[in-house]
């Protein structure tokens, strides 16, 4: 187990003692089976991995624990527990990917097992249908003029469900990865 600093300890302690954790449990093991209100708040607002105030990330380290920080983190990661754990399989130790077809800047590949899947192929244009943990996944990038359409649908390589549709992403050197 990794040692944490005194500042990190204070942030985590403040977060866990906040009123919001009475409404949204930190971990699903804290919820009894028939406690529907807590299951609902855990699914809608909870974040099993990073906490409801991002206290495990250090992302908002200089911001006080409270409702504004909770709201900012929840809007950044809506339905985290629902997509990762309730309908997803993120709790599994390993995931596998079987690539049906991959057309991208690296060329054409098909029918192969991969250790870890990807979300988008490389380059400006890419098409990538695969199976992530036996569940179909599809992603597409199409470039036009100085824009790019980005789309994916289904369970991602980490076991979480995701949908993305961005019809007009401005292309620069960072979006080509």
Residue boundaries of the structural domains of the chain: 6-86, 97-170
pLDDT digits (tens, 9 = 90+) for 5-59: 777 778 778 778 888 888 888 888 999 999 999 999 999 999 999 888 888 887 7
* Residue 83 DSSP label: I
pTM metric for this prediction: 0.77
pLDDT digits (tens, 9 = 90+) for 66-101: 888 889 889 988 899 999 999 988 888 777 888 899
| C-alpha–C-alpha distance, residues 114 and 101, integer Å | 12
Q: Give 1's pLDDT tier (boundaries 50, 70, 90).
A: low
Take residue 120 and report the two structure tokens written for it. Answer: 């988008």
Tally of CB atoms within 10 A around 26 = 17
At residue 113, the 3 state secondary structure works out as strand
| C-alpha–C-alpha distance, residues 12 and 91, integer Å | 22
Furthest C-alpha separation in the chain: 54
Specify whether the CB–CB gap between 40 and 19 falls below 8 A.
Answer: no
At 175 the pLDDT is 47
Take residue 21 and report the two structure tokens written for it. Answer: 């954790």
| C-alpha–C-alpha distance, residues 24 and 37, integer Å | 9
């Amino acid at each position: 187990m990794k040692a944490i600093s005194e500042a990190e300890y204070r942030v985590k302690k403040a977060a866990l003692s906040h009123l919001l954790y009475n409404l949204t449990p930190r971990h699903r093991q804290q919820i009894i089976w028939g406690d529907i209100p807590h299951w609902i708040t855990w699914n809608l607002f909870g974040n099993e991995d990073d906490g409801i105030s991002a206290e495990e990330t250090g992302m908002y380290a200089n911001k006080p624990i409270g409702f504004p920080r909770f709201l900012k983190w929840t809007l950044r990661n809506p339905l985290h527990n629902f997509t990762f754990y309730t309908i997803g399989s993120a709790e599994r130790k390993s995931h596998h990917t079987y690539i049906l077809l991959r057309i991208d800047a690296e060329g054409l590949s098909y029918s192969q097992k991969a250790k870890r899947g990807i979300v988008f192929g490389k380059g400006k244009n890419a098409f990538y249908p695969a199976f992530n943990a036996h569940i179909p996944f599809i992603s597409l990038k199409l470039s036009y003029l100085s824009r790019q359409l980005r789309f994916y649908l289904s369970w991602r390589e980490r076991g979480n469900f995701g949908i993305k549709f961005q019809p007009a992403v401005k292309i620069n050197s960072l979006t080509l990865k």
